[in-house]
């Protein structure tokens, strides 16, 4: 092998290492941006969305005439008759 072949191979290896480093840097930057946006999320908007979903669920139950389902910890009204 000649010196020219070794220099070309070394250049290719260095270029590949640079490309891999840049790729990992881009992925790391994406994760950092995602984390920053998640931290800045407005909790009041989440509460409002939850409240709206709950009111829509109650409206559907009222429209279908179903009785609201009790929570798992609640007893039936006539539990003492059993």
Per the structure block, which two tokens stand in for 57?
């669920």
Q: How confident is the model at residue 3 (pLDDT cuts 50, 70, 90)?
A: low
pLDDT at res. 53 = 93
pTM above threshold 0.75? no
Those residues with Cβ within 8 angstroms of residue 10's Cβ, 6 or more apart along the chain or in another chain: none
Q: How far apart are CA 34 and CA 55, in angstroms?
A: 31
Instruction: Tell me: pLDDT of 1 over 70.
Output: no
Q: How confident is the model at residue 9 (pLDDT cuts 50, 70, 90)?
A: confident
Strand ranges inside the chain, DSSP E: none
DSSP 8-state code for residue 41: -
Interval 14-38 mean pLDDT: 95
Structure tokens at 82: 């059993």
Residues listed for the chain: 82
């Amino acid at each position: 092998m000649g010196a020219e072949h070794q220099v070309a191979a070394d250049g290719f290896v260095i270029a590949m290492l640079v490309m891999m480093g840049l790729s990992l840097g881009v992925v790391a930057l994406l994760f950092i941006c995602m984390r920053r946006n998640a931290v800045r999320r407005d909790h009041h908007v989440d509460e409002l969305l939850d409240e709206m979903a709950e009111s829509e669920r109650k409206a559907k139950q009222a429209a279908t005439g179903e009785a609201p389902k009790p929570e798992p910890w609640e007893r039936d009204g006539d539990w003492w008759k059993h």
